[in-house]
């Protein structure tokens, strides 16, 4: 089964013109156990719950749930769980925080207010105080995250990613066991590191009905942000870290997915989001927000990223309209794309750079490198043919296209980087 899945994913790369060492890396993994084979079967069963009423935040309940043993010691994850008022069973979302994050009751409440049950858990062994603040280690904490997969030379069952993935699967199992939750309508979203994890889990958890990774994506080694910076690490060490690249999992998946990112993110550059979208394009959408800030609130705010909630509503509630879909992607300077949308497309904009996608720091005080400023032009929309046309400036080298529907929701084309013979 692993071999057939591997060739399936390689076929996607070939069809996308993206056959690279990634395929050969996937094939090479047939010589070792896959992640699915390594996971403990108990992660797909409901864990034991330990309620923590002193840490409840209004109607959002606090709890610990039993997770995997770590070095022979029992562990538990702290989480906030919320069930909306009204008729049940309801759809539900698993919420995965970013690096250095925690369980967020306010994130749970956002989803509760929209008619979803939700769980947000701490994946780094923390609990809050009674006011919901702070990050405190506790007696049942498991491993902590060590940089960017820097614990990869430890036994796999002692690595943080192994426990984080397992904790997420257990959170899904917990939600699915609740009588108030419709177990057949559960999705996942994650922010930054949570985007890495949620996209990875979408490839191993077929129970999911939708996945919404924000910022984080696959092909991390190719990021022009800091995830692609390995310093003086050896090639062998870098190769070991690739075991945890989400693309190894989601390339074989079929969970409906919405990829969300900004076009200048300092952690996860647009090229890896676009590539992640391309290998999942038969069941995925992408929404790129110009200048989107990096962080938890920007990644969950319904006013800033309404596409997340519209996508979940359509996939889990069958309410509203689907996001528009680009059915013929742009490729050259004389831009042509075709789309399919049940709602009018009211705006089409092309965002471009006059160079290849290149990250640099403008000053020594900058924390992260970023691309140069994106320029934009308005494209022509032929609504009768559901087609968009534009001619880029001669100087343009890199671009993507955003379509906005009558709800104000954005869907994006792939990132196009023109070759020298395409620039005229």
pLDDT tens track for 70-104 = 999 999 999 999 999 999 999 999 999 999 999 99
> Does residue 9 belong to any structural domain of this protein?
no
Do 162 and 62 lie in a common domain? yes
> Does residue 26 belong to any structural domain of this protein?
no
What is the average pLDDT across 201-225?
Answer: 97
pLDDT of 131 = 86
Do 402 and 385 lie in a common domain? yes
> Does residue 77 belong to any structural domain of this protein?
yes
Band of the pLDDT at 7, cuts 50, 70, 90?
very low
What is the average pLDDT across 395-418?
Answer: 98
Stronger pLDDT, 16 or 194, i.e. the higher one: 194
**Distance in angstroms (rounded) separating the CA atoms of residues 285 and 423:** 27
* pLDDT value at 375 more than 90: yes
pLDDT of 418 = 96
Domain end position, chosen among 268, 296, 320: 320
Q: Which residue in 91, 95, 65, 60 sits closest to 78, CA to CA?
A: 65
Do 407 and 267 lie in a common domain? no
In the block, tokens 């996607």 appear at: 12
pLDDT of 165 = 99
Domain end position, chosen among 305, 320, 335: 320
pLDDT of 217 = 98
Band of the pLDDT at 26, cuts 50, 70, 90?
very low
Copy the structure tokens of residue 363.
């000053």
The pLDDT mean for the chain works out to 92
Do 214 and 146 lie in a common domain? yes
pLDDT of 424 = 55
Copy the structure tokens of residue 27.
């094939």
Q: Residue 382: give its domain's CATH number.
A: 2.60.40
Band of the pLDDT at 362, cuts 50, 70, 90?
confident
Do 92 and 212 lie in a common domain? yes
Domain count, the chain: 2
**Is there a contact between 324 and 337 (Cβ–Cβ < 8 Å)?**
no
pLDDT of 21 = 45
Task: Compute, in degrees rounded to 10, the torsion defined by CA atoms 305, 307, 313, 314.
Answer: -170
What is the average pLDDT across 40-69?
Answer: 98
What is the average pLDDT across 230-238?
Answer: 85
pLDDT of 130 = 84
> Does residue 303 belong to any structural domain of this protein?
yes
Q: Which residue in 208, 398, 37, 22 sits closest to 12, CA to CA?
A: 22
Do 130 and 176 lie in a common domain? yes
**Is there a contact between 220 and 237 (Cβ–Cβ < 8 Å)?**
no
Do 281 and 405 lie in a common domain? no
Q: Residue 186: give its domain's CATH number.
A: 3.40.50.1820
> Does residue 116 belong to any structural domain of this protein?
yes
Percent of the chain with pLDDT over 90: 80
> Does residue 24 belong to any structural domain of this protein?
no
Measured CA distances, 402 to 35, 315, 377, 388, 413 (Å)? 36, 22, 11, 10, 7
**Distance in angstroms (rounded) separating the CA atoms of residues 210 and 195:** 13
Domain end position, chosen among 320, 342, 357: 320
User: What single-letter DSSP state applies at residue 416?
Assistant: E
> pLDDT per residue over 328-360, tens digit each?
999 988 999 999 999 999 999 999 999 999 999
Q: Which residue in 357, 375, 356, 359 sits closest to 367, CA to CA?
A: 359
Domain that holds residue 181: 33-320
**Distance in angstroms (rounded) separating the CA atoms of residues 95 and 115:** 15
* pLDDT value at 27 more than 70: no
> Does residue 23 belong to any structural domain of this protein?
no
pLDDT of 5 = 45
Do 48 and 90 lie in a common domain? yes
* pLDDT value at 239 more than 80: yes
> pLDDT per residue over 143-161, tens digit each?
999 888 989 999 999 999 9
Do 331 and 358 lie in a common domain? yes
* pLDDT value at 14 more than 50: no
* pLDDT value at 134 more than 90: no
């Amino acid at each position: 089964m692993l071999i057939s899945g591997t060739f399936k994913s390689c076929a996607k790369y070939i069809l996308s013109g993206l056959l690279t060492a990634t395929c050969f890396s996937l094939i090479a993994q047939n010589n070792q156990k896959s992640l699915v084979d390594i996971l403990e079967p108990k992660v797909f069963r409901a864990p034991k719950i330990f309620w923590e009423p002193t840490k409840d935040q209004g109607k959002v309940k606090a709890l610990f749930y039993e997770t995997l043993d770590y070095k022979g010691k029992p562990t538990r994850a702290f989480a906030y769980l919320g069930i909306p008022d009204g008729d049940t069973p309801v759809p539900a979302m698993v919420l995965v925080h970013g690096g250095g994050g925690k369980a967020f009751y306010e994130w749970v409440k956002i989803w509760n207010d929209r008619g979803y049950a939700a769980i947000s858990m701490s994946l780094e062994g923390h609990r809050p105080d009674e006011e919901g603040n702070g990050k405190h280690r506790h007696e049942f904490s498991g491993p902590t995250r060590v940089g960017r997969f820097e614990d990869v030379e430890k036994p796999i069952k002692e690595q943080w990613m192994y426990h984080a993935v397992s904790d997420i699967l257990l959170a899904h199992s917990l939600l699915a066991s609740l009588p108030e939750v419709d177990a057949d309508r559960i999705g996942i979203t994650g922010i930054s590191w949570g985007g890495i994890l949620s996209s990875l889990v979408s490839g191993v958890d077929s129970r999911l009905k939708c996945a919404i990774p924000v910022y984080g994506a696959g092909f991390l080694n190719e990021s022009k942000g800091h995830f692609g910076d390995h310093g003086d690490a050896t090639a062998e060490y870098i190769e070991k870290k690739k075991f945890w690249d989400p693309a190894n999992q989601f390339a074989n998946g079929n969970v409906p997915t919405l990829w969300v990112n900004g076009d200048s993110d300092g952690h996860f550059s647009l090229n890896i989001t676009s590539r992640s979208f391309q290998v999942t394009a038969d069941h995925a959408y992408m929404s790129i927000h110009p200048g989107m800030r990096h962080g938890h609130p920007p990644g969950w705010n319904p006013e800033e990223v309404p596409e997340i909630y519209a996508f979940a509503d359509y996939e889990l509630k069958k309410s509203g309209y689907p996001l528009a879909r680009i059915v013929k992607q742009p490729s050259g300077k004389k831009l042509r794309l075709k789309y399919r949308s049940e709602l009018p497309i009211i705006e089409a904009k092309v965002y471009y750079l006059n160079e290849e996608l290149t990250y640099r720091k403008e000053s020594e005080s900058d924390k992260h490198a970023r691309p140069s400023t994106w320029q934009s032009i308005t494209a022509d929309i032929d609504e009768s043919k559901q087609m968009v046309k534009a001619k880029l400036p001669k100087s343009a080298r890199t671009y993507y296209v955003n379509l906005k529907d009558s709800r104000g929701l954005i869907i994006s084309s792939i990132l196009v980087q023109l070759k020298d013979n395409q620039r005229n």
